[in-house]
Amino acid sequence: MGMENKNKSKAVRPSAVIVGGSSGIGYETCNRLVNRGWAVTNISRTPCKNAKVTNVTADVAYGSEAFDAIGATAKKFGLTALVYCAGFSMAAPIEHAKESDYKYLFEVNFFGALKAMQAAIPHMKKRGGKIVLVGSLGGDVPIVFDAFYSCSKAALEMLARSANLELSPYRISTTALLPGGTSTNFSFKRKVYSEEENGSYSKPVNRAVAALANMEQSGMKPCRVAEDIYDILVEENPPIIKTCGAKNTVKRFATRVMPEKLTAYINSKMFKQ
């Protein structure tokens, strides 16, 4: 019996905090949960348009408002689940990447997830709970000229593994969910350095950005990823790492058994290098 069924048997409405639920995967996750009877609070810079969702407007990279809201939600509704979907991507060569940009990326993609977990865990320790960190296949195989994004997603995988070792005595599970290319507006929000900023890397950066956007826009729908998130939240014993879809699962397995040089070669060709 999943957690949702247990809560129903006790007449307790399950409650989730979604960080980054205004669009894409996070928005679809909000919709699925409220349509299935959950109390949902979204924390993001832009409100979620679903009228059934409680919104807290905050930027996870700045200040403590976002993380204070997790505690306030837990006190009001309880806290069954935390889903971290917030993300930032930048296309830039390592040589010319600006410190302010890659620090902001890590604040959103990794440290925001860490702080959200630190805010949620004390409220989950009594009854248990589920944490889902939305990672990426790019955390296993680098995205060309998006190195910092890949690094941040790899860090989320390790955070999930470590959290499970520490929190299992409290019946708190953490899953890093790894989508492949997903068709959302995230493709068009990516910060792309200018030709002047990219210098001698300008043409290969432009090719890589175009190839990545094509992979994303021809990839799976965000509702498919949201369904995987929901399944994790109601599963009794969810996996620590889960890849979205059979095709992406095969890809991830292949990269782990192929020689590193072969993986790098195939990856470079995918990004038109």
What is the domain-level CATH number for residue 15?
A: 3.40.50.720
Paired strand residues for 131:
82, 174
pLDDT of res. 15? 96
Give the pLDDT confidence score for residue 223 in this predicted structure: 96
Record the pTM: 0.92
Strand partners, 41: 17, 54
**Do 4 and 202 contact (CB within 8 A), yes or no?**
no
For 172, the domain range is 3-270
Would you state the pLDDT for residue 256? 87
CA 30 to chain centre: 14
Q: What distance in Å separates the CA atoms of residue 180 and residue 217, rounded to the nearest whole number?
A: 11
3-state DSSP assignment of residue 163: helix
For residue 85, give the nearest of 187, 180, 226 by alpha carbon.
226
Mean pLDDT by 10 residues, the chain (273 residues): 44 89 97 96 96 94 90 91 97 98 98 97 95 96 96 98 97 97 94 97 96 94 97 96 92 90 91 89
Q: How many whole angstroms separate alpha carbon 229 and alpha carbon 239?
A: 11
**Residues with Cβ within 8 Å of residue 154, at least 6 apart in sequence:** 139, 140
d(C-alpha 110, C-alpha 14), whole Å: 26
- Res 6: pLDDT: 44
Half-sphere exposure of 103 (CA within 13 A, CB side): 4
In angstroms, the CA 269 to CA 272 distance is: 5
Number of domains in the chain: 1
Closest CA to 132 of 108, 160, 152: 160
Which residue from 51, 100, 55, 91 is spatially nearest to 73, judged by alpha carbons?
A: 55
Q: Which pLDDT belongs to residue 155?
A: 98
